[in-house]
């Protein structure tokens, strides 16, 4: 199985800050990576697919990059409504594993 390692596991930032989360795959997954946002008590929501493609309707302050084994998720200007846990997920191989999540809080 491909292991997905996210860092950090938690993050505290101020409104307006640039926030970066990384995700590392245990082997090359090309660009077969998704990023999800899960707000407290809610279902996850797909934000980015194929490592860097923004899902329709998702604000442009969210972005993703990377390929191979190393990926980055960025929020360019943190907003209060971005408080959530963020998960990466690979879909190069079965099983389509998720990272352990990054809990984002407002400072």
Running DSSP on this structure, what letter comes out for residue 50? T
Using CA of residue 57, residue 66, residue 85, residue 45, what is the dihedral sign? positive
Q: Please identify which residue in 51, 78, 84, 101 interacts with other proteins, judged by CB under 8 A.
A: 101
Stretch that binds other proteins, among 10-18, 23-31, 70-78, 98-106 (CB under 8 A): 98-106
Distance of CA 77 to the CA centre of its chain: 15
Task: By CB under 8 A, tell whether 94 contacts other proteins.
Answer: yes
Using CA of residue 106, residue 70, residue 2, residue 48, what is the dihedral sign? positive
Q: Please identify which residue in 14, 16, 43, 80 interacts with other proteins, judged by CB under 8 A.
A: 43
Q: Please identify which residue in 5, 13, 55, 83 interacts with other proteins, judged by CB under 8 A.
A: 55
- Other C-beta atoms closer than 10 Å to the C-beta of 18 total 11
Work out how close the CB of 16 gets to other proteins at its nearest, in angstroms, rounded to a whole number: 28
Locus of tokens 């809080």: 105
What is the binding site for other proteins (CB under 8 A)? 34, 36, 38, 42-46, 49, 55, 87, 89, 91, 94-101
């Amino acid at each position: 199985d491909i292991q997905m390692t996210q860092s950090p596991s938690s993050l505290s930032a101020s409104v307006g800050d640039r926030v970066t989360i990384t995700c590392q795959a245990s082997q090359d997954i090309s660009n077969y990576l998704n990023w999800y946002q899960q707000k407290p008590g809610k279902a996850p929501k797909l934000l980015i697919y194929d490592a860097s493609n923004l899902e329709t309707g998702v604000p442009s302050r969210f972005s993703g990059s990377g390929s191979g084994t190393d990926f980055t998720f960025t929020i360019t200007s943190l907003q209060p409504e971005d408080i959530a846990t963020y998960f990466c997920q690979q879909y190069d191989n079965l099983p389509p594993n998720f990272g352990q999540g990054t809990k984002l809080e407002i400072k």
